[in-house]
Structure 1
């Protein structure tokens, strides 16, 4: 049975166990949203939940976006707990670093399943809920979809597909009031970044902070970036202004 004690907006954030997802979950909770934290590792999701304001209604969903059935189950879990869904932030992703010559079909499928198929299934499954709330989808793509990096062929291709998902949502939104955005951040200071690049390649202090991206996500959700609806937006260090 849905939680009838809470009647505010509800946001689902993928990749909520750290980095951009953790920062976004915290900021949305601070603005009065209930949050569904989705990720592959329960312990990191629980750590994110501990950083939420007290009394924030929160749901932890341990799931792998590469599994479409798990994506459907995630939307069912949100519906069962809250009875509504206002926001989806498609933030989770994988970024295998492999040269084109060494890129095989298995790696491409695994990357696209996690970075593109999962978000599509989430939006498809949640569509009736988003129609009811005139909801918002924010897809976290990458500068790699615009200007690919060496060694990230599958990642760049999957993020280009995510850019197209935003446009496709708006092509079908019609009079529903649903809004969709793409943010294309450059290098962001996350655990994923440091698993790929050490400080000799990306010195500390040169990457964007997760809070910068989270501020832009919040601005999209709150209607302060509606001029960007439906199209990619490169996001560079220092651009975000949570008050603008």
Structure 2
């Protein structure tokens, strides 16, 4: 795979494929002729997505927690055994929580870092042998949160800054083996995670008071189209909303901007933060909590 890589007939693994970015990405890759291996915590939803893909996608699903080394190792072995190769891996699985650190649920805060950062590294660890054999490509899903820190999002921002740094480090380690590594940046995109965060009035208002264009919620379809194009091009950086590319040039200034504006905004919304849910947000967050409650 080099230059603009043809996708037809190749094999892609997508984590967090039960909904949102992962589900639509699987659909769009299948439409390009790829075979799909779906990985996640919701076997019923994964089964639904796999069954709905075109027969040529030969879609299979694997129930695995991305933070579980052994489960992911088994999944990687079974995927390679079924399809004979792995050409693309998209490390998409992620969760989020919101609210002030002082009031945070420590288990939820830790879980965000575990899934988003450690889970991404475990995904890379599990699938690197197959990607090395195919000289394939890994796309790590990051976020605007990796570029711009924000109040009430400490766990998510820390985890996404971490996956960005992890992916850049991994790229330098594996490029000489022919493996490409890309980082994808998304702003607020219409997924259940963002809708779940918006259920709290204070968090929703604070987000909408961000400067344009960061205060918008963007449609999922065009964002995922750009991810597919990035996979096809084996891009080092993929921007789901085009304006995010420009943020790279000013990212060094953003902590100062947030530090200056943050206290004013926090004084305004702080009285309304008592009702902020301290657990994981959205349907995906609920599924993660339920899976861990079952042990």
For normalisation by structure 2, the TM-score amounts to 0.70
CA contact (8 A) 2:140 2:182 kept: yes
Residues 42-63 of structure 1: CA deviation (Å, up to 9, x unaligned): 1211222233123321111112
Select between 147-156 and 30-39 the one with higher mean Cα deviation. Answer: 147-156
Runs of 4+ in 1 over 6 A off after TM superposition: none
Secondary structure of the residue that 2:226 maps to in structure 1? helix
Taking the aligned partners of 1:42 and 1:109, their CA distance within structure 2 comes to: 24
Within 5 Å, give how 1:1-244 maps onto structure 2. Answer: 8-103=9-104, 106-198=107-199, 201=204, 206-223=216-233, 226=235, 229=236, 234-236=239-241
Question: Mind listing any 5+ residue stretches in structure 1 that lack a counterpart?
Answer: 1-6, 240-244
Task: Give aligned pairs, total.
Answer: 228
- Describe the shift of the 1:68–1:152 C-alpha distance in structure 2 as closer, same or farther (beyond 3 A): farther
Question: Mind listing any 5+ residue stretches in structure 2 that lack a counterpart?
Answer: 1-7, 209-215, 245-295
Residues 96-117 of structure 1: CA deviation (Å, up to 9, x unaligned): 1131213465444322211111
- In the TM superposition, what is the alpha-carbon distance from 1:36 to its structure 2 partner? 0.7
CA contact (8 A) 2:67 2:122 kept: no
Taking the aligned partners of 2:55 and 2:79, their CA distance within structure 1 comes to: 20
Residues 125-145 of structure 1: CA deviation (Å, up to 9, x unaligned): 221211121111111111111
For normalisation by structure 1, the TM-score amounts to 0.84
Larger Rg, first or second structure (1 or 2): 2
Taking the aligned partners of 1:66 and 1:127, their CA distance within structure 2 comes to: 16
